[in-house]
Structure 1
Amino acid sequence: MSDVFSRISAEPLDSSAVDEFVWSAESGAVVAFQGIVRDHDGGRDVVSLDYRAHPEADTFLRECCEKIAASTGLRVAAEHRVGSLTIGDLALVAAVAAPHRAEAFAACAELVELIKASVPIWKRQHFADGVSEWVGL
């Protein structure tokens, strides 16, 4: 069985599936991150987001998970949503299981930062005033 799960999905994310993938009998801790679409950014009201992915984004996401799994020896999972999302939708779910909480927290934080820095997925925010803008381009 692989110690890594990764997926880019146009369907709503299921955080429990990611948690269940990483958990094993020797796990004393499962730490998960849920990136949720919020209703504001930079003092402006956000009404929705669009996520667009490079055709090989799934490869980049898998490499992030594999890198963290290889450096820590832990089970790692991440799933990123693409398409149109509304307020409250899950955009990113990441989870790591470990025997102890400290290593699970550290590995999950490192995983999320690596995904944000490495995976070619772009976000377009739509604001209440009708303006939209790409973030991080």
Structure 2
Amino acid sequence: MINTLTSIAKPRTEDSFVISFAPLSVEEVYKLADDPANGAVVMMSGMVRNQTDGRSVVALEYQAYEPMALRVFYQIAEEIRQTWTDVTRVVIHHRIGHLQIGEISVLVAVGCPHRSEAFAACRYAIDTLKHNAPIWKKEHWQDGSSSWVSIGACEQNC
């Protein structure tokens, strides 16, 4: 796997990478990942939950360094195709701005002829995104306090 961004990956036209203030659409992302060659489309939807480590969360705010984050998304797709060569589509959409409990913050979808590769590639995409992308979230707590956290600083179950 490539662990640096020394060679800037270029997005493929069949893939889709977005950072947006607008709400994300499960249906749109699924359609973007679909292809006649697919036997599977695996999608992961990350949502704002109402607690973290036992503390009540009322909202999250996401910020990103968009040019670098998109390059990380492109690199993830390139790495996926090096490992799972049959992948037909990679879709990564991340929301920024103020999100309420239950709203979708990230959608990752991978289309592939076989389900096992689609599952593995989708998991790789979200895990690598969380570790490498310059995206930060501010947790707004019920007690009125808040704190910024790099999503890369989250534990695996964040």
TM surpasses 0.5:
yes
Find the counterpart in structure 2 of residue 105 from structure 1: 119
Instruction: Say which SS state the counterpart of residue 130 (structure 1) adopts.
Output: coil
For residues 3-82 of structure 1, what are the structure 2 equivalents within 5 Å? 3-56=14-67, 57-73=69-85, 74=87, 75-82=89-96
Greater relative contact order: 1 or 2 (C-alpha under 8 angstroms, separation 6 or more)? Answer: 1
Runs of 4+ aligned structure 1 residues displaced above 4 Å come to: none
Q: Counterpart amino acid of 1:72?
A: W
74-83 vs 50-59, which moves further: 50-59
Cα-to-partner distance string for 1:49-70 (whole Å, 9 max, x where unaligned): 0001114222222322232234
Change (3 A) 1:55 1:3: closer
* Residues 6 and 79, structure 1, Cα contact 8 Å, conserved in 2: yes
Give the root-mean-square deviation of aligned CA atoms: 1.5
TM-score, normalised via structure 2 length: 0.81
Structure 1 residues without counterparts, runs of 5 or longer: none
Q: Give the C-alpha shift of residue 6 in structure 1.
A: 0.5
More strand by percentage: 1
Q: Give the C-alpha shift of residue 104 in structure 1.
A: 0.6
Q: Are 1:88 and 2:68 an aligned pair?
A: no
Change (3 A) 1:55 1:96: closer
TM-score, normalised via structure 1 length: 0.93
Q: Give the C-alpha shift of residue 72 in structure 1.
A: 1.9
- Corresponding residue pairs, total: 137
Instruction: Say which SS state the counterpart of residue 27 (structure 1) adopts.
Output: coil
* Residues 6 and 65, structure 1, Cα contact 8 Å, conserved in 2: no
Q: Counterpart amino acid of 2:70?
A: D
Q: Give the C-alpha shift of residue 5 in structure 1.
A: 1.1
Q: Counterpart amino acid of 2:32?
A: F
